[in-house]
Amino acid sequence: MDKDLVDLGGKRVDFGTFARQYQPNVAAAKYNAYMNSLQSKLESNDPAVKALRDQMNAALVGMRTRADIGPTTVHQNSTLSNVSIQYANDEYIGDRLMPIIPVSKKSDVYYIYDKRNRLAYPDSRLGPRGQANEISESRSTASYLCEGHGFENYVDQETLNNQDAPLNEMVDLTEAVAEGLAFKREVAQADILCDYANYGTQYAAVAAADRWDVGGDPSAKILTAIGTCWSGRGAGEQWGFCSWDVMKALMTNAHIRDLFKYGGNSPGFATPQMISDFFGLAGILVGKARKDTANEGQAAGTYSRIWSNVFGVVRVATRPTVRNAAFGYTFRHGPLRTTTWFDQRLGVAGGYFGKVTESRDEKIVAADTGYLITTPIG
């Protein structure tokens, strides 16, 4: 047979004609035969064929399920634009007990009137030709010295360019610093107000058996504190203050709760407002603010309360004047100053500094207008 011809049952055609016309038909015939055989097998009732068919269908369903589009397929992790987490310290109370007074000089003196000047006078009787007795007055002075305090913060421009909502690093730049100054002022005021040495002789300790968290009656001690405090000539109010743990003991103390019973029924826990109203105080401020006791650079330590476990009563001037007596003030020279500036020398694109400063002095001016109760709880 000629190598260029193909024998088709007596009919001889060239190889090119065979490839173009007959080979595709043969391939199609083979494909159709295969599909018909497969279809017959898929429709077979043979148990072995049915088991294989069910196995293949289960595999196909599993592949479809795994390929389904779900939430994780269409989502790429990003920062939420309306949610973030930032802790806030509890309410500060120091400025309310030692109010801030603006002063025009960084350091100066103020006058103290002799307490006896208004509590003792000579004979006032006056005859027809008598001469009135002359009263005597004296003044002493005390001084204050406002010291500078401040913090600064930094954020680079590349960070600002790359930030996403809800972050606003320019706001945090100065807000964090201002919060730091308020925190340090609160610590300084708490240290003064919670130290019995700052009250002269006007303090008392509660014996272990009489403490308020083990059933002791707080009423006598609190009434003594209120009655011992001196008043001032100007406008002022008596305020109580204590730690959160001391307030919890007062709220749950059986003797305190008995004061509010009506018809034999207790209203539940006594509130700070109920207690202050009963004792005639303008209010009771509860120190809940916390501080980290670990040194800077170390891991966070124990978060303890800034205000120690005491109960105090102090007179607070509602309108400070030169002839008013109150326990203490926070003298501040000038305003709270906030400054921001850009320094292009730092980093790749420069950055912003933020600084907040103040000049202040926490000062006890009339210790005898306050009284401190120590160790009220164990």
Asked if 230 and 338 sit in the same domain, the reply is yes
Kindly list the distances between the CA atom of residue 94 and the CA atoms of 199, 269, 294, in Å, as whole numbers in the listed order: 17, 26, 23
C-alpha span between 306 and 303 (Å, rounded): 9
> pLDDT value at position 334?
92
Q: Does any domain span residue 128?
A: no
pLDDT at 8 over 80: no
Give me the CATH number covering residue 216.
3.90.1690.10
- Domain residues for the domain of 53 are 5-60
Q: Are residues 35 and 159 in the same domain?
A: no
Q: How much of the chain exceeds pLDDT 90, in percent? A: 44
**271 and 173, same structural domain?**
yes
Residue-level pLDDT at 167: 64
Reported as a single tens digit per residue, the pLDDT across 249-276 is: 999 999 998 887 765 555 678 889 999 9
Mind listing the pLDDT tens digit for each residue in 81-119?
444 455 557 689 999 999 999 999 999 888 787 777 677
Residue 108's Cβ-count burial label (10 Å; 0-12, 13-18, 19+) is middle
Portion of the chain with pLDDT greater than 70, in percent: 76
The answer to whether residue 335 sits within a structural domain is yes
Q: What is the pTM of this model?
A: 0.70
Q: Do 171 and 32 sit in the same domain of this protein?
A: no
Question: How many C-beta atoms lie closer than 10 Å to residue 281's C-beta?
Answer: 21
Q: What is the pLDDT, as a whole number, of residue 258?
A: 86
Statement to judge: residues 196 and 312 lie in one domain: yes
- Please check whether residues 250 and 365 belong to one and the same domain: yes
319 pLDDT more than 90: no
Instruction: Give the dihedral of Cα atoms 179, 182, 184, 189; nearest 10 deg.
Output: -160
For tokens 């945090």, name the residue.
172
Q: Are residues 191 and 309 in the same domain?
A: yes
- Is the backbone peptide bond immediately before 335 cis, with ω within 30 degrees of 0? no
Domain assignment present for 182: yes
Tell whether 358 and 212 lie within a shared domain: yes
In a domain, 255, yes or no: yes
Mean pLDDT estimate for the chain: 82
* Domain identity same for 154 and 276: yes
Mark whether 154 and 54 lie in a shared domain: no
Q: How confident is the model at residue 75 (pLDDT cuts 50, 70, 90)?
A: very low
Total domains in the fold of the chain? 2
Same domain, 181 and 289: yes
Kindly give, in sequence order, each residue whose CB lies less than 8 Å from that of residue 17, ignoring residues fewer than 6 positions away. none
| DSSP type of residue 134 | P
* Domain assignment of residue 232, yes or no: yes
pLDDT of residue 235: 86
Based on the fold, state whether residues 189 and 323 are members of the same structural domain. Answer: yes
Which pLDDT belongs to residue 332? 94
Residue 292 belongs to a domain: yes
Kindly report the backbone phi and psi dihedral angles of residue 220, in degrees, each rounded to the nearest multiple of 5, phi listed first. -65, -45
Within a domain: residue 14? Answer: yes
Cβ-contact 255, 219 below 8 angstroms: yes
Report the alpha-carbon distance of residue 133 to residue 117 in Å, rounded. Answer: 14
Strands (E), the chain: 5-8, 11-14, 100-103, 107-113, 139-145, 147-156, 203-205, 236-243, 283-287, 290-292, 303-305, 310-317, 328-333, 337-343, 351-364, 370-374
Q: Which residue has the tokens 């500094």?
A: 353
User: Are the C-beta atoms of residues 356 and 327 closer than 8 Å to each other?
Assistant: no
Buried b (16+ CB within 10 A) or exposed e, 252-280: ebeebbeebeeeeeeeeebebebbbeebe
Contact 212, 377 (CB under 8 A): yes
Residue 170 within a domain = yes
